[in-house]
Amino acid sequence: MTTDQLILNGQTVADFMKEEMVAKVAMIKEKGILPCLATILVGNDPSSETYVRMKGNACARLGVHSIKVVLPAETTTEELIQEINKLNADHSVHGILLQHPVPHHINERAAFDAISIEKDVDGVTTQGYALNAFGAAAFPSCTPQAIIRILDFYRIQIEGKHAVVIGRSPILGKPVSAMLLNRNATVTTCHSKTVNLDEIVRLGDIVIAAVGKPLFVKGSWIKPGAVVIDAGYNKGNVGDVDYVSCLEQSSAITPVPGGVGPVTIATLIEHTIQSAYMLSERA
Amino acid sequence: MTTDQLILNGQTVADFMKEEMVAKVAMIKEKGILPCLATILVGNDPSSETYVRMKGNACARLGVHSIKVVLPAETTTEELIQEINKLNADHSVHGILLQHPVPHHINERAAFDAISIEKDVDGVTTQGYALNAFGAAAFPSCTPQAIIRILDFYRIQIEGKHAVVIGRSPILGKPVSAMLLNRNATVTTCHSKTVNLDEIVRLGDIVIAAVGKPLFVKGSWIKPGAVVIDAGYNKGNVGDVDYVSCLEQSSAITPVPGGVGPVTIATLIEHTIQSAYMLSERA
């Protein structure tokens, strides 16, 4: 590790975002509106419970109200959509987060797409994805937005760089590829069927690991001096990146925990505040 | 040029598609339904007039009805959307094609997105893009679909191949990147801000030129044995690919004209027939 190497500290970015958010919340409250995030948890997966609790705590720290809807594991798709529709119609709710994954018997895509676009602060709807891919206004998916935010905070150039994204999920790999493309990166999207993945990753000036496999990306895959962003979060508090070996190779890297995670949560709440502001302007 | 080299003949693919389409049209007509494509032309750009005429002629050859809506160049966005809404409501119309580009003062994206998803046989709506990117059912954008169709017809493997797409427009570069990704290619999307474009293109097992610059892609950029698909169509009847030099390097290549173009038109009409069938089932 050289002295030029940067640890991209997500908590620093989240703290930086916090100041502006607190000011905005105060401004909105003066109008008599209390920004409110509704989270929906289906079943009792311990990790999901933890995530929902972390999001609620972060809301509380920023003066944002949050409500939790907890539904039993056997909830049907139709019942879940009914709950979402209630929240869509509730004027006191400004953002809706459906914690994923939902139990397998539920049509997750249908549930996501039931969230009204105005309240889709987590950026999970099909429509939100497309609007963002086409550069239009909608809340972008939070983790991809957090990745861009970290790169911008640390003044890492995106335009003209070759970004390699490992993963193609609808809420991470695909939207982050689209966002990097819109920021004028040359973008390669890889996945489980990619041949010679290590060689492809070695092309990247910026490497985004979004694959969901613990310690998957090795230092030997990283072009010396590349920027490594670890968007993974696996059991045992480890990311998708083999941090020690990748740290050696990279010019900048996000740790796990304390990298993308805190910025993702801050982004979610920022979107909720923004939604409250926009919905209040419209009322 | 070796004897193994393939000229990917779009007319052959379109002729192959024709047989099935004629049979389907006959079947739908037996139900008393006449498949109908409505084309909208705003202004009098000679190229656009030609394209609309070609599409109308292709409909006629296949027994598909077509109607042409011709609007003056000074049509406003609101007036255009009114016309689109009339066609959305018209049960005798199964597909709507808005010929692009429209005059600059019109909000083309708003006009595209006014087309109801069921009748978006050209695959230009934001919603259609996202549904396709997520692998759901909607009519894919016709030119990207034609490219996949040609690759499949000539049994060119997509899965595991590195596809390099040059261009990122909402109706071509972005959707073809998404479709190749969904077919398990590793996909790199390039554009005007890409640095060392020739080196990036040289990575491609499959190269898609969708940039809109005549004879832009040179043979020296092509990895020996790569497959070259020219989705460009520029003034003077030339594509985006410098055909002569790229032919030397490639294992398979589409000519212009006679490559992607005829298959795009056939795909548009196939979607119209499919839409007529689906709408008739629903009625």
Reported as a single tens digit per residue, the pLDDT across B237-283 is: 899 999 999 999 999 999 999 999 999 999 999 999 999 998 888 76
Q: Which residue has the tokens 């006679």?
A: B258
Q: Nearest-CA neighbor of A71 among A51, A92, A98, A90?
A: A98
Tell which of B165, B171, B189 to mutate to test the A interface (max A CBs under 10 Å).
B189
* CB contacts, 8 Å: A130 with chain B: 126-127, 129-130, 133
- The Cα B202–Cα B224 span in angstroms is 9
Q: Do B191 and A203 lie within an 8 Å CB cutoff?
A: no
- The Cα B195–Cα B188 span in angstroms is 13
Q: What is the DSSP letter of A257?
A: S
pLDDT at A61 over 70: yes
B168 is in an annotated binding site: yes
A226 phi, psi to nearest 5 deg:
-70, 160
pLDDT at A3 over 80: no
ipTM value, please give it. 0.92
| Confidence band for B3, pLDDT divided at 50, 70 and 90 | low
Mean pLDDT of chain A: 95
Per-position DSSP letters for A184-251, written without gaps between them: T-EEEEE-TT-TTHHHHHTT-SEEEE-S--TT-B-GGGSPTT-EEEE---BTTTB-SB-HHHHHHH-S
Mean pLDDT of chain B: 95
Distance from the Cα of B10 to chain A's closest Cα (Å) equals 28
Q: Do B200 and A186 lie within an 8 Å CB cutoff?
A: yes
Q: What's the pLDDT at A283?
A: 65
Is A122 one of the catalytic residues? Answer: yes
Classify domain B142-261 by CATH number: 3.40.50.720
Mean pLDDT across B40-55: 94
Q: SS3 of B3, please? A: coil
Q: What's the pLDDT at A1?
A: 46
| Confidence band for A43, pLDDT divided at 50, 70 and 90 | very high
A167 is in an annotated binding site: yes
Nearest-by-CA chain A residue for B110: A136
- The Cα A9–Cα A13 span in angstroms is 7
Mean pLDDT across A98-126: 96
CA atoms within 13 A on the CB side of B58: 26
Tokens, residue B18: 């024709």
Q: Do A187 and B188 lie within an 8 Å CB cutoff?
A: yes
| Confidence band for B203, pLDDT divided at 50, 70 and 90 | very high
B207-243: pLDDT as tens digits: 999 999 999 999 999 999 999 999 998 988 899 999 9
Determine which helix (DSSP H) or strand (DSSP E) holds A28, and give its type and residue range.
Answer: helix A10-30
Contact A226, A205 (CB under 8 A): yes
Q: Return the domain boundaries, chain A.
A: 31-117, 142-261
Tokens, residue B88: 């959305």
Q: What's the pLDDT at A281?
A: 81
Mean pLDDT across A105-129: 96
| Confidence band for B1, pLDDT divided at 50, 70 and 90 | very low
- Same topology, domains A31-117 and A142-261? Answer is yes
Q: A-B interface: how many C-beta pairs under 8 angstroms?
A: 89
| Confidence band for A86, pLDDT divided at 50, 70 and 90 | very high
pLDDT at B120 over 60: yes
| Confidence band for A182, pLDDT divided at 50, 70 and 90 | very high
Alpha helix (H) residue ranges in chain B: 10-30, 46-61, 77-89, 108-114, 126-133, 142-153, 173-182, 197-201, 243-249, 260-282
Provide the b/e sequence for A200-210 (b: ≥16 CB within 10 Å): bbbbbbbbbbb
Mean pLDDT across B43-66: 95
Strand partners, A208: A165, A229
Mean pLDDT across A84-98: 97
pLDDT at B153 over 50: yes
Q: Which of A232-236, A250-254, A269-273 has the lowest mean pLDDT?
A: A232-236
Domain B31-117 class?
alpha beta
Query: Between A136, A160, A193, which is nearest B195 by CB?
Result: A160
Nearest-by-CA chain B residue for A177: B189
CB of B76 within 8 Å of any CB in chain A?
no
Q: Which residues contact A247 (CB under 8 A, 6 or more apart)?
A: A1, A5, A219, A253
Strand spans (E) along chain A: 6-7, 36-42, 65-71, 95-98, 162-166, 186-190, 206-209, 227-230, 252-253
B63 is in an annotated binding site: no
